[in-house]
């Protein structure tokens, strides 16, 4: 291999200098320029030293040195970058065997092409069993390495799930947004074949273009759109014209078991159930804050902890929450979280 991790390199087409941060295979390396990391082929880079010492002015003479007070300060140019969305980037890593190139593994990166930072929860399922889980955050216009997936794992029905949250609390945005990608073997084979024919490096999938806004809901509206567009099969509560709406009553004990929320829960997908539970929680959390409650118990059960983790994530970003605890309780065991609110 011509290059090693840590080597300084020069992009031939743009003359930008960067650093090798990973060796992908015999034909490709991962480089970092500024705060951006991306893969390149070896014929697209070179060592920068030859370029540095052979680049001369057109007249053949080195530039004259100026006194310090004669040097004009560099003009700062404000660059505006448009939001394009958040993408999942898939990089196939090839293994050369004789005259053939076979895909050995897939590298997953998260690409944030927006001006906002996001928290995210990343999960990989194989044969409907959780294989990998990660929680982290990604900065504006940055790339984040997620994980590798062996190519033979495509036979295990892989499913990738993302849940995104605004890093900074924003009352105009939904509390969270979920995206699921079930990898279809036949489709991914075709896409990788087309990728190799075009000599491109990565596949790119749009996760969201704009983070969904917080839905406008009245007292009796039941809306699951803030958790993503995956609860279309759930029921929506409506009121008859001429019948006054009954205002919601604050609860000091909120039970989020799905059988307590809707009679039509059987046959629902886990994602749909989670959407209903989280929206019910957000509704009564806002109601408790508006009524200046001091405390509230939220019963989420134990299970795998998915609902509890989502609730705690929302509470951490709420400025009206003083603290919350999930300790053993003689009535709920470890299946409930107690919330303490701030009051000015």
Instruction: Give residue-wise pLDDT tens across range 244-284.
Output: 444 677 888 999 999 988 888 888 888 888 888 998 898 89
Q: How far apart are CA 154 and CA 84, in angstroms?
A: 29
The number of distinct structural domains making up the chain is 3
Domain co-membership, 259 together with 170: no
Q: How far apart are CA 326 and CA 328, in angstroms?
A: 7
Encoded tokens for 175: 């509390």
Residue 231 pLDDT > 70:
no
Question: What per-residue confidence (pLDDT) applies to 262?
Answer: 87
Residue 130 pLDDT > 80:
yes
Question: What per-residue confidence (pLDDT) applies to 239?
Answer: 38
Mean pLDDT for all residues in the chain: 79
Domain co-membership, 268 together with 195: no
Residue 95 pLDDT > 60:
yes
Domain co-membership, 104 together with 164: yes
CATH number of the domain where residue 110 is located: 2.60.40.1600
Domain stop point among 178, 208, 238: 208
Phi, psi of 194 (to 5 degrees): -65, -40
User: How far is C-alpha 61 from the chain's CA centre?
Assistant: 52
Domain co-membership, 29 together with 90: no
Q: Which range marks the domain in which residue 98 is found?
A: 85-208
Name, of 13-22, 38-47, 138-147, the range with top average pLDDT: 138-147
Q: How far apart are CA 135 and CA 121, in angstroms?
A: 5
DSSP string computed for 248-280: PPP-SEEE--GGGT-TT-TT--HHHHHHHHHHH
Domain co-membership, 257 together with 323: yes
Pair 42, 28: CB distance under 8 Å: yes
Question: What per-residue confidence (pLDDT) applies to 235?
Answer: 36
Question: What per-residue confidence (pLDDT) applies to 201?
Answer: 67
Domain co-membership, 90 together with 179: yes
Question: What per-residue confidence (pLDDT) applies to 114?
Answer: 93
Question: pLDDT confidence of 230, banded at 50, 70, 90?
Answer: very low
Q: Which of the residue ranges 30-39, 228-237, 309-318 would you say has the lowest mean pLDDT?
A: 228-237
Domain co-membership, 268 together with 317: yes
Helix (H) or strand (E) holding 185: helix 185-198
Question: pLDDT confidence of 59, banded at 50, 70, 90?
Answer: low
Residue 329 covered by a domain: yes
Pairing of strands 118-126, 321-325: unpaired
Pair 175, 196: CB distance under 8 Å: no
């Amino acid at each position: 291999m011509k290059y090693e991790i840590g080597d300084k390199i020069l992009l031939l087409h743009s003359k930008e200098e960067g650093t090798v941060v990973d060796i992908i295979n015999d034909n490709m390396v991962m480089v970092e320029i500024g705060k951006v990391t991306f893969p390149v082929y070896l014929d697209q880079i070179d060592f920068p030293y030859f370029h540095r010492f052979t680049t001369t002015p057109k007249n053949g003479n080195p530039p004259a040195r100026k006194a310090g007070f004669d040097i004009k300060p560099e003009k700062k140019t404000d660059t505006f970058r448009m939001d394009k969305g958040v993408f999942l980037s898939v990089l196939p890593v090839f293994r050369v065997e004789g005259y053939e190139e076979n895909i050995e593994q897939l590298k997953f990166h998260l690409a944030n092409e927006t001006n906002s930072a996001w928290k995210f929860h990343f999960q990989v399922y194989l044969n409907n069993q959780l294989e990998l889980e990660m929680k982290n955050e990604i900065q504006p216009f940055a790339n984040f390495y997620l994980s590798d997936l062996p190519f033979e794992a495509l036979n295990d029905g892989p499913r990738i799930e993302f849940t995104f949250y605004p890093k900074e609390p924003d009352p105009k945005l939904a509390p969270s947004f979920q995206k699921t990608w079930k990898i279809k073997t036949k489709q991914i084979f075709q896409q990788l074949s087309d990728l190799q024919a075009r000599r491109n490096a990565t596949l790119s999938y749009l996760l969201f273009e704009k983070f969904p806004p917080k839905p406008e809901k009245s007292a009796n509206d039941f809306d699951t759109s803030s958790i993503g567009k995956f609860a279309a099969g759930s029921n929506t509560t409506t009121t008859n014209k001429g019948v006054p709406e009954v205002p919601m009553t604050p609860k000091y004990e909120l039970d989020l078991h799905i059988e307590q929320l809707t009679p039509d829960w059987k046959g629902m997908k886990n994602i749909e159930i989670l959407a209903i539970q989280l929206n019910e929680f957000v509704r009564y959390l806002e109601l408790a804050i508006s009524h200046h409650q001091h405390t509230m118990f939220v019963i989420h059960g134990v299970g795998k902890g998915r609902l509890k983790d989502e609730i705690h994530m929302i509470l951490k970003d709420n400025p009206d929450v003083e603290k919350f605890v999930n300790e053993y309780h003689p009535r709920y065991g470890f299946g409930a979280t107690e919330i303490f609110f701030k009051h000015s």
